[in-house]
Structure 1
């Protein structure tokens, strides 16, 4: 494993990190096995956005046998657990209670990077940085409970504003070869509409994103990467906007060749996926080369494509929308409905047939997915 310096923090981090989404719906034994394999392979950077108390406890239990200085935690503020669902919050009382729960369940005396969760528009940015949340984060930093401050965002304009504050050392940013062709916007939905790209010729990275990477590099603000595989879309020839599948190695190399990028937090859901990403360290230059696929790519976008990011939550009837969409997408790329996919769907606590079409999920979705339509497709396919 190769290690990089996390910007001006001077913390050494593995260039392959571990994202929290892969720990969802896992047992303690499964989480422990994933953590053990990751650390054995040299991974020391772990991003935990999860508000799920089981995930927090399981990861904390798995890490407690390792020396604290042997791993680096990127832990999110502003995510809470309500009615057995993830919720992003800006209520300061909820933020404080949830972060105390995070520290307790993770069994941590301090967090290396305190990540203010998911800011994508100017109004939200102004509220966070002009109010109680940033003051609470600074208070935690003053006490040494948080060592460095960060934010997560999908919007390069917001990321640039964060850099200019001078107090943000790390930005968790969505980077992959497809996203880098997209313009910045407060309205995240617009980024993925076909009209945005009408008569547009792709000529490398969109200038504002390139500017962000360069400024972060110059200012010593580290970028940690989410969505490197586009929730698996880039790995699938039928779904990839490039009409060809990228390999995990090619996706990782793309991200790790962007300026200011320190680590890529992979959303691995099992040991094999961790090992397939760690293989990057042994890969040849030919295996890493993504240029041909990008050079031959047609115009495309991720309009209507679920990225399984979970921002659709909370659901008014507690459907795990991201997982329903995931199983629907998994089924759609196969000629016949696989028993394993069907069984996983049936094990969900709530099913698509329970959807009341309230539209809350569609209002929250950053990718403009027709979620109500997806729920109807799932009922038709799975029978409930």
Structure 2
């Protein structure tokens, strides 16, 4: 296992981290086996969040007795002091620990959310208080708007930043990663498979592995998935492979969707998933989860062809900060055969 110094925290973290968001989808014994196998293999970065259903409880039940073996990161999506403080304390109870190594202000995509969290009686105040009390060691921020995150971390208030970095979403390379590097911050790349769409897994993971980040959190749910992810980082990426992966990422990133979720669809289409997976589908093909996504959402996607209020002017597109042609991409996806 390769380890990298986690920015100014000074900790040595495994380049592959364990993302626990999907553990509530599997039986507890399977989750326990995956977590313990990951620790046995040298993975020492565990990522979860208060908002990931009972993920924190699973961690507490599965590996709290091995607490000194891993760097534990969780998140609060509360914006005010009172509820964030309550959530931090609840997270400690759930994970059966006295402290978390990293507490992140979660899913900050709007300026108003950032201002609220950082203002008087905001969530950041609760995080600072928890740090003074020894309940939190470091404070970070997560979000889906890399250009805004680059601005927000420049105030020096955060030790770490969590962002998308995968083949169809290379956008953090432009401003965010350079700014975080300049500030010696801990850099964590999430969703290497872009939510379960990108294949092959090895190629998907080796792209962020080749970049200037410290750890990649992958949402693993079984021993086999841990083995598959470990295999992807078992050998260094040479210059030739890195250049090839970067060229592929530039081509796949032309959809320009950041998953900021500003858009919404009147017929319930998960627009970012369609925007991103359309490019993945046409370039590499989809993982089984991606095919299932199209099977599950077939009727909604097809409804975009005939939904009368959007015929003259689609309701989704004016909400997009990147001015993307979402309607045409979705309507083209209506012709995709997932079989």
Q: Give the TM-score of the pair, scaled to structure 1.
A: 0.65
Check conservation: 2:143, 2:149, Cα contact below 8 A: yes
- Give the superposition deviation at 1:290: 4.7
1:265 aligns with 2:217: yes
C-alpha change, 1:46 and 1:129, in structure 2 (3 Å) is: same
Matched residue, 2:313: none
User: Is 1:55 paired with 2:59?
Assistant: no
2-side partners of 1:161 and 1:65: how far apart?
A: 39
Q: Does 1:108 align with 2:97?
A: yes
Distance 1:63 1:74 in 2: 14
Q: Does structure 1 retain, via aligned residues, the 8 Å contact 2:75–2:106?
A: yes
Distance 1:147 1:364, change over 3 A: farther
- 1:130-169 alpha-carbon deviations (Å, 9 max, x no partner): 2321111110111110100100022233322333222211
Match of 1:74 in 2: 73
Residues 364 and 222 of structure 1: CA distance in aligned 2, closer, same or farther (over 3 Å): farther
Matched, 1:289 2:279: no
Q: Which residue of the partner structure matches residue 21 of structure 1?
A: 21
Partner Cα distance (1:169, 1:150) in 2 = 5
Q: By how many angstroms is 1:65 displaced?
A: 2.4
State whether residues 213 and 258 of structure 1, in contact with CA within 8 Å, keep that contact through their aligned partners in structure 2.
Answer: no
Flag the 1:130–1:14 CA change in 2: closer, same or farther, 3 A.
same
Aligned counterpart, 1:251:
204
**1:227 paired residue among 157, 169, 191:** 191
Distance in structure 2 (CA, Å) of the matches to 1:41 and 1:299: 32
Q: Pairwise mapping of residues 179-328 of structure 1 onto structure 2 (< 5 A)?
A: 179-180=169-170, 182=171, 206=174, 209=175, 212-235=176-199, 247-259=200-212, 261-283=213-235, 285=237, 289-292=241-244, 294-295=246-247, 298=251, 301-302=254-255
| Partner in structure 1 of residue 35 of structure 2 | 35
Cα distance in 2 between the residues matched to 1:232 and 1:31: 18
CA–CA separation in structure 2 for the residues paired with 1:167 and 1:291? 34
Shift of residue 286, structure 1, vs aligned partner = 6.9
Q: Is the 8 A contact 1:13 1:72 kept in 2?
A: yes
1:153 aligns with 2:143: yes
Cα 1:263/1:272, change in 2 over 3 Å: same
**2:111 — aligned with what?**
122
**Distance apart, 1:287 and its partner CA:** 11
Provide the C-alpha distance between the structure 2 equivalents of 1:300 and 1:94, rounded to a whole number of angstroms. 37
Supply the distance in 1 between the matched residues of 2:321 and 2:224 (Cα, whole angstroms).
29
Count of matched residue positions in the alignment of Structure 1 and Structure 2: 311
Structure 2, unaligned stretches of length 5 or more? 263-267, 301-306, 308-315
- Shift of the alpha carbon at 1:303? 6.4
Between the aligned partners of 1:141 and 1:298, the Cα distance in structure 2 is: 42
Change (3 A) 1:95 1:248: same
**From 105, 120, 133, the counterpart of 1:143:** 133
Task: State the Cα deviation string for residues 94-135 of structure 1 (Å, max 9, x = none).
Answer: 333332221111111001011000112322222211232111
Note if contact 2:205-2:233 (Cα within 8 Å) is conserved in structure 1.
no
> CA RMSD for the aligned pairs?
4.5
- Cα separation, 2, equivalents of 1:364 and 1:26: 36
Please state how far the C-alpha of 1:294 moved relative to its aligned partner. Answer: 4.6
- Name the structure 2 match of 1:170: 160
1:97 aligns with 2:61: no
What is residue 303 of structure 2 aligned with on the other side? none
Q: Do 1:249 and 1:288's aligned partners in 2 also have CA atoms closer than 8 Å? A: no
Partner of 2:304: none
Instruction: Show CA shifts across 1:312-366 (max 9, x none).
Output: 9xxxxxx9x79x99xx99xx999xx99x969x97xxxxx98xxxx9xxx999999
Residues of 1 paired with 2:38 and 2:88: CA distance?
25
Inter-partner Cα distance in structure 2 for 1:304 and 1:139: 36
Which SS does the other structure have where 2:254 is aligned? coil
